[in-house]
Amino acid sequence: MKNFILFCLFIVLLIPGISQPNKILIIPEPVEIRQGVGEFEINSNTAFYFSKLDADANAIMAAINKDFSEAGGYKLKAVSGEVAPKNSVQFKLLSTVDTAIGNEGYRLDVSLDGIKVSANKPAGLYYGMQTLLQLLPNEIESNKRINNIKWTVPVVSIMDNPRFGWRGMMLDVSRHFFTKDEVKRFIDNMARYKYNMLHFHLTDDQGWRVEIKSFPNLTKVGAWNVKKTGDFYKLSQPADDEPRDYGGFYTQDDIREIVQYAKEHFVEVMPEVDIPGHSLAVVASYPEFSCSPGIKKVNSGETFMDWGRQGAIARVDNTLCPANENVYAFLDKVFTELATLFPSQYVHMGGDECAKNFWEKSDQVKQLMQKEGLKDMDAVQAYFVGRISKIIESKGKKMIGWDEILDGGLVPTATVMSWRGMKGGIEAAKMGHEVVMTPNNFVYVDFMQSDVAIEPPVYSTLRLKKTFEYEPIPEGVNPKLIKGGQANLWTEQIYNERHLEYMLWPRGFAISEILWSPKGKKNWNQFISKVEDQFERFKYADRKFAPSMYDPLIKSSKDAKGKLQVDFDPEITGLNIHYSFDNSYPDNYYPSYDGKSISVPIDATTLRLISYRDGKPIGRMISIGVDALNKRAGK
């Protein structure tokens, strides 16, 4: 009988017009998906029902209509009404709480007769809408009109809610400035994948990016450096007369606009002012806030720090003086203005990588140590952090900082953002502090995504698969203290928005899934199918992504006789990697890697390789010199 049913199903699927339902590919993976049979079509007559046509309804319709007006050529109508007729879409806030879905979850039910999204809170309706957009054909992302397509949604019941409340992305707008419109597009993309926290890294050695009315030099002087292009931190020293006209800043009106825009996308914006280190832009603007004399300039990418086992050593003093009361008065004013601009509960004070070598030489700091009984430089930094926590709390905000705020003793009320791995986060959680886990070995999306032979060079590599393995809750800590995590996007080597997108996607998909989806549903192969589906959507949307998962890492070694060998380490299965040593461009007629080490011919000068799948090139052509392979292999 069972075989007979399967046979009938097989025959039915062969009948033209009765096709197999498309697989449901959503990022981040929802908690529960039950797919039915058939589909519902949205067309220009489909009305969208809301109990009230308020700001939340507008936010939902704005996102839907952005896609429909570009790809469909029409806008959909929003209607106010508690009961939705057949053939419509309804967004409904529940009058009795549905405990399964919490504050940000939703239920999405698509039937042959219509669609219903229900939630306890507007955020849930918004995320239900994002899922609905991903259920539509990929062409919906097109920014050009698509003809001859039906905007169908498969019949399905989805129940969903996030694993973590803090699903962040950190954007560094100091190292390279990104305009207000670029930040808004960044927020659009965050919201698509259900991120809800924009950590705005607004200040660093390369620029101060927010207007502070009581200290105008911060943006008159501190927001500008010399335009240089090349390897950041190895760029040439600017001459004194080179124009300092590269950079920019957000006016307070710009900030209000960004914060409002983010709110309409259910994203909170948390400002970071990185102190007491990373403050060259401040001391270039107001030299009196440094412990060391002399004029300082905003960094333009030239080397000015050395990184040793002892930590950071600054060649130019880029720190605020912890022994100067005027520094605290200055920061009080800065945090007062920021508190009025950013409704976020948290304010980030940085605290990372503070070089202490100028403090060590400062008489002012020595006097402070004597007066306050501070035994070493960590204690001096802890004193500074303690003062800052009082200032931030006096504005009604909670202070968060990078894990260096643990050094020298942690302020009792502080939240820790763990970046030097998970260690600091574990230590803080064991002390009962809240933690946001952003370990550099899993979520630093400024690192290279594959081999340096093909990727824009950065000092470290973080492949998609490693990011996907990220688990924010370590063993042995109270999981309630782990608020969530973030993708951290530092921009030293990111000069423009296209490259920003390249660095963020697809690793941003992996992090969204880790922060939203149930841990038990993690599935690498299924994730890769979804990533490839998103790549198609990105092509329609003209967004950039990194195809790095198709390019293997190249490993070289010496055999017992000292002969050079290479191996390829692909990130996904199903690839044929074809290669050459004869200086020609390999294609699928060339030898392909079979998992066994390849001997490098003695006179070869260059290895070239390219990944194919199903007979078609899918990776990029990679060239690497045999000299470089020898260097990698070592002795």
Where on the chain is the footprint of ligand ACM (CB under 6 A)? 352-353, 402, 419
Residue 404 C-beta: closest distance to ligand ACM, Å: 8
Selected catalytic residue, list 204, 302, 492, 571: 204
The encoded tokens of residue 375 equal 């035994």
Residue 506: asked if its preceding bond is cis (omega within 30°), the reply is yes
Residue 201 C-beta: closest distance to ligand ACM, Å: 9
Q: Identify whether 569 is a catalytic site residue.
A: no
Burial of 395 (0-12, 13-18, 19+ CB in 10 A): middle
- CA 328/CA 394 separation, integer angstroms: 13
**Between 29 and 272, whose beta carbon lies closer to ligand ACM?**
272
**Between 205 and 353, whose beta carbon lies closer to ligand ACM?**
353
Selected catalytic residue, list 278, 348, 433, 578: 278
Three-state DSSP class for 421? coil
Residue 583 C-beta: closest distance to ligand ACM, Å: 41
The encoded tokens of residue 507 equal 């690793």
**Between 341 and 400, whose beta carbon lies closer to ligand ACM?**
400
Strand residue runs (E) in 9-135: 32-42, 47-50, 77-80, 88-93, 106-111, 114-119
**Between 97 and 313, whose beta carbon lies closer to ligand ACM?**
313
- Please give the C-alpha separations between residue 605 and each of 577, 584, 635, in angstroms, as whole numbers: 19, 12, 19
Judge whether 316 and 278 are in contact, CB under 8 Å.
Answer: no
Residue 28: asked if its preceding bond is cis (omega within 30°), the reply is yes
Judge whether 344 and 269 are in contact, CB under 8 Å.
Answer: yes
Q: Which residue is nearest to ligand ACM (CB)?
A: 352
**Between 224 and 402, whose beta carbon lies closer to ligand ACM?**
402
Residue 280 C-beta: closest distance to ligand ACM, Å: 15
Strand residue runs (E) in 173-263: 197-201, 203-204, 207-208, 224-225, 246-247
Q: What are phi and psi of 271, to 5 degrees?
A: -80, 145
Q: Identify whether 201 is a catalytic site residue.
A: no
**Between 434 and 446, whose beta carbon lies closer to ligand ACM?**
446
Q: Which residue is listed with tokens 């200055």?
A: 330
The encoded tokens of residue 22 equal 């498309």
Judge whether 288 and 326 are in contact, CB under 8 Å.
Answer: yes
Judge whether 396 and 465 are in contact, CB under 8 Å.
Answer: no
Alpha helices of 444-564 — where are they, by DSSP H? 464-468, 497-504, 507-516, 524-541
Residue 274 C-beta: closest distance to ligand ACM, Å: 8
- CA 525/CA 32 separation, integer angstroms: 18
Residue 419 C-beta: closest distance to ligand ACM, Å: 4
- CA 424/CA 288 separation, integer angstroms: 33
The encoded tokens of residue 457 equal 């060079």
Q: Identify whether 278 is a catalytic site residue.
A: yes
With CA atoms as reference, report the closest residue to 522 among 24, 22, 27, 23: 27
Strand residue runs (E) in 375-414: 398-402
Residue 312 C-beta: closest distance to ligand ACM, Å: 9
Residue 276: asked if its preceding bond is cis (omega within 30°), the reply is yes
Judge whether 346 and 398 are in contact, CB under 8 Å.
Answer: yes
**Between 311 and 617, whose beta carbon lies closer to ligand ACM?**
311
End-to-end CA distance of the chain: 67
Length of the chain in residues, anyone? Answer: 635
Selected catalytic residue, list 160, 317, 353, 446: 353
**Between 330 and 444, whose beta carbon lies closer to ligand ACM?**
444
**Between 273 and 566, whose beta carbon lies closer to ligand ACM?**
273
Residue 64 C-beta: closest distance to ligand ACM, Å: 37
Judge whether 631 and 596 are in contact, CB under 8 Å.
Answer: no
Residue 420 C-beta: closest distance to ligand ACM, Å: 8
Which active-site residues does the annotation give? 204, 278, 353
